[in-house]
Amino acid sequence: MKILITGANGFLGHYLTGLLLSQEQWVIATGRGQCRLPFHDHSHFVYEEMDFTDLRSVRNVLLKHQPDCIVHAGAMSKPDECELNQELAYRVNVSGTENLLSVSSALNAFFVFISTDFVFDGKEDSYREEDTPDPVNYYGYTKMLAEQLVTQYKPLWATVRTVLVYGKPQTGKQNLLTVVKDKLEKGEPYNVFTDQVRTPTYVEDLAQGVSAIINKKATGLFHLSGEDVLTPFQMATEVADCLGLNKSLLHPVTSAEFAQPAKRPGRTVLELEKAKKELDYRPLSFKEGLLKTLAD
Ligand SMILES: NC(=O)c1ccc[n+]([C@@H]2O[C@H](COP(=O)([O-])OP(=O)(O)OC[C@H]3O[C@@H](n4cnc5c(N)ncnc54)[C@H](OP(=O)(O)O)[C@@H]3O)[C@@H](O)[C@H]2O)c1
């Protein structure tokens, strides 16, 4: 199968490209600017520069390669940046998705969209796929609008919602665990939230789940996350304990004490029954993912 990935230079894009290549799939990795992936020698790998906010660029690349499947992992993915640059966030997360859908549809390609727990308001104990989105920030709003566009796509589609993705950074971008490690190793204090509750997702589990969706042509909405329910403060404490670092540098803060430009949903725990049943999805425990993330 020929699979085109957007945002391939990003955190998920990197792991997903590697996993699909290991399965002997053909991967057209696309991204902004130069390739930052280490797969040049692989016979099934090609990289194309493609800004998906530019319809002409999308048309050129998709029509040239005629992929069977498109995984749209590219996004403006930082909530605070989206809140502060709403016009750009709309262009990237909504109009960009619309561009991809319009050209993919002409190719009859299977469209897999990566979305977020931030489409929910965080007021419920947990969320199933069919629960109604009600985002509390602009990032979540743009992802909700893009999800709605995907549901109108005529060929086969799937949307994956995931939560706080962590793992070893491969192309530079840090995640909560690696930021905490760096701060504590430098002896610097770090503020961590106690009033946000998440099911953090190990990046390789997410890539495996997306690959199962592609291989089974599984359609509709899927929640793919970890199962352990933790606050960022608890995650950070586990990092410190695991590495024997000074956890008194971790300062517990609440959203009321430490305002961020984008409001965060309080509790986003995603239910995984559908993914377990249809994809045989079995995520690692947080402890297992943490050890893999921090291993040399
Ligand atoms: N990471 C998380 O905790 C998390 C949680 C929930 C959902 N998600 C979702 O999961 C997906 C993957 O996240 P991630 O962590 O892999 O994000 P990421 O590391 O920020 O990767 C996103 C990629 O998209 C690229 N991109 C942005 N605008 C583009 C454009 N106009 N044209 C082409 N490429 C563009 C970025 O390019 P540059 O490298 O040039 O900036 C980046 O490489 C995203 O849809 C995100 O919303 C992530």
Cα(163)–Cα(205) distance, integer angstroms: 12
Q: SS3 for 165?
A: strand
**Residue 103's closest CA among 148, 142, 146, 54?**
54
Residue 251 domain-assigned?
no
Task: Answer whether residue 171 shows pLDDT above 80.
Answer: no
What CATH number is associated with residue 28?
A: 3.40.50.720
Answer whether 109 contacts ligand 1 (Cβ < 6 A).
no
pLDDT of 231 reads 97
Residue 8 domain-assigned?
yes
Residue 178 domain-assigned?
no
pLDDT of 21 reads 97
Residue 233 domain-assigned?
no
Cα(11)–Cα(175) distance, integer angstroms: 9
190 Rama class: left (phi>0) / alpha (psi -120 to 50) / beta: beta
In the chain, what percentage of residues exceed pLDDT 90?
Answer: 94
Residue 257 domain-assigned?
no
Separation of CA 75 and ligand 1 centre (Å) = 4
Domain that residue 157 falls in: 2-163+202-225+270-283
Answer whether 73 contacts ligand 1 (Cβ < 6 A).
yes
Residue 116 domain-assigned?
yes
Separation of CA 123 and ligand 1 centre (Å) = 26
Structurally, the chain folds into a number of domains equal to 1
pLDDT of 24 reads 94
Cα(228)–Cα(246) distance, integer angstroms: 24
Q: CA of 136: how far to CAs of 171, 265, 268, in Å?
A: 29, 6, 12
Task: Answer whether residue 119 shows pLDDT above 90.
Answer: yes
The Cβ of residue 49 has, within 10 Å, a number of other Cβ atoms equal to: 12
Report pLDDT digits (tens) over 142-156: 999 999 999 999 999
Q: SS3 for 24?
A: coil
Cα(280)–Cα(211) distance, integer angstroms: 12
**Average per-residue pLDDT in the chain?**
96
Residue 249 domain-assigned?
no
Report pLDDT digits (tens) over 82-109: 999 999 999 999 999 999 999 999 999 9
Residue 258 domain-assigned?
no
pTM: 0.97
Separation of CA 101 and ligand 1 centre (Å) = 17
Which residue reads 């503020």 in tokens?
191
Cα(42)–Cα(32) distance, integer angstroms: 21
Report pLDDT digits (tens) over 31-55: 999 999 999 888 999 999 999 999 9
